Chain A
Amino acid sequence: MLEIKNISKTFNAGTINEKRALKNVSLTLNDGDFVTVIGGNGAGKSTLLNAICGTWRVDEGEIIIDGKDVTLTAEHKRAKYLGRVFQDPMMGTAADMEIQENLALAKRRGKKRGLGWGISKNEREEYRELLATLGLGLEDRMTSKVGLLSGGQRQAVTLLMAAMAEPKLLLLDEHTAALDPKTAEKVLEITEEIVNKNHLTTLMITHNMRDAIKHGNRLIMMHEGRVIVDVCGEEKKNLTVEDLLEMFNRASGKEFASDRAMLS
């Protein structure tokens, strides 16, 4: 479903702030994989996701989604293969637009936007049912501006949007990091439901090791722009946080240095 071949990215090349964010990263995701990504600050997790999305072009390597080489494809064109949820709940939805309008925007991802109505009557009914599955009561607030919702509600709506229009790949960039623990748990629950219901191939960045172990069928750990651990199947299921720390120390030759990750 996703093939990343040897990609590299350096920011501010040739300056004092030069940062080699990705170093020859290769990664292949099979159809239906749910991969969790962990790593300390600056490990290259978000950079990897942005490379897949096409926020900028990679310096080297190839990115292939569903058999199509998208290495040079513009971000908005790539979007038709991708469902994205950002870390910042404000970033995934248009605050000044209605809930139903946001969903309608997502439904048209990858399609031509012409002079037909931005949202049709049939769609409203469809969205009402879709929103009802969240169990947050949003189905009765379809014409409310998204800006009036809480962070957790906005992430839930963004998840629904990301899963619309049949994406090949769902990309979650620490999408629960800005939420309180209870809301984060609820949003993760919704994530599981949506991923299972739509059989989505998923890449989820998290700073929470327990979440990384609990969710998905495969786990990768990044460090200094490289993938240093890649486990799946039974081995992944039986992991503990201690195992992960041990693996990190062995693979990187350093102590795991992110307090945020360790304490979670």
Chain B
Amino acid sequence: MEHLFGALPGAVSLGLIWGIMAIGVYITFKILAISDLTVDGSICTGAAVCTMLMTAGVDPWVSMLCATLAGGLCGLVTGLLHTVLDIPAILAGILTQLALWSINLKIMGQANRPLSARNFPVIITQMKTEEAIFTLVLIAGAIIGLLYWFFGTELGCSIRATGCNINMSRAQGINTELNKVLGLMISNGLVALSGALLAQYQGFADVNMGRGAIVIGLAAIVIGETAFAKIARNFAVRLCGVLLGGVIYYVVYQVIVFLGIDTDLLKMLSAVVVAIFLGVPNLKKKYFSKVSKKRAKEAGENA
């Protein structure tokens, strides 16, 4: 039990890092209604860029900014593939993601790179989890504040409208293609930022660190939405819910590890959990509509 509680601060900080990533995913998945698979690659791009710059002696904050911009560039590529070349969004994301695997290898020069807290001025490290949690909460708070402001602006509103009703948006003179590209850039910028944080926290960047990232992001979103469905009407509160969704995910992960379940199974479990959360509302609509309930009742009475 002691082991479990000892591991909790680590789980919370990891959860916060992935929660920031999930907020990025939220922008495409929920606001733009696009399933963007670029993130599996762009999270590693962020980590790689940050690691290489910091190794070269660049200030950590500048490195993180560059990582964020690199992520935005990944989003730009997916956005252009989707809007200019009319490739379905999901496929455009897969193409970028695949290309990023090579690019990430080239950025790092090898499959993984150390970023030791002993040699570099990292802003968070798993050696000091309490400090890391404090720093991460501040960063996440700033991001949520910034997004809350942005999606309340004219441009932000038009991006929300684009995701909500594309026909109406065009009829109201909104450049929907541009907005999709912008949304993808912001989303992947945040994802890359979380990658940069993750590399500092765990002390290395690895070319495989993004595998399945989209599923973890979606898991955080569905957990956050389910847990905070009742109170989360305000946009900022909903983003906080997503952030906490990431934390809950990693705390549960830690408990599973503590219970001794084979960690090789965790990715499968994550996929199952996300499938259930995404699928159940649809099943409800299909089989538990008023008509089917009525029919079921009639069938029961006749029997």
Residues of A bordering B, CB below 8 Å: 53, 75-77, 79-80, 82, 84, 86, 90-97, 101, 104-106, 108-111, 113-119, 161
Contacts and interface: CB of A to CB of B under 8 A. Distances in A.
Interface residues of B, number: 22
- The list of the 6 closest CB pairs from A to B, nearest first, reads A118-B157, A79-B173, A113-B154, A94-B164, A109-B173, A84-B171
Contacts of B160: 94, 96-97
From DSSP, what is the main secondary structure of chain A's interface residues? loop
A147 B179 CA distance: 22
B153 A116 contact: yes
Given A97-B160, A97-B161, A86 B167 contact: yes
Contacts of B164: 94-97
A118 B149 CA distance: 10
A161 B168 CA distance: 11
Nearest to B153: A115
A96 B233 CA distance: 11
Interface in B171-220: 171-176
Nearest to A162: B171
Contacts of B173: 76-77, 79-80, 108-111
B157 A104 contact: yes
A73 B203 CA distance: 53
Contacts of B176: 76
Interface of B: 150, 152-158, 160-161, 164-165, 167-176
B154 A114 contact: yes
Given A92-B171, A118-B154, A118-B156, 19 more contacts: A76-B170, A79-B170, A79-B171, A91-B167, A94-B161, A94-B169, A95-B164, A96-B164, A97-B160, A105-B157, A106-B172, A108-B158, A108-B173, A110-B173, A113-B155, A114-B154, A115-B153, A116-B153, A118-B152
Most central of A92, A94, A106 by chain B CB within 10 Å: A94
Contacts of B175: 76
A79 B153 CA distance: 21
Given A113-B154, A115-B155, A118-B153, A161 B165 contact: no
A105 B155 contact: no
19 contacts: A53-B171, A76-B169, A76-B173, A76-B175, A79-B172, A79-B173, A86-B171, A90-B165, A93-B165, A94-B165, A97-B157, A105-B161, A106-B172, A108-B154, A108-B172, A113-B174, A114-B155, A117-B153, A118-B153
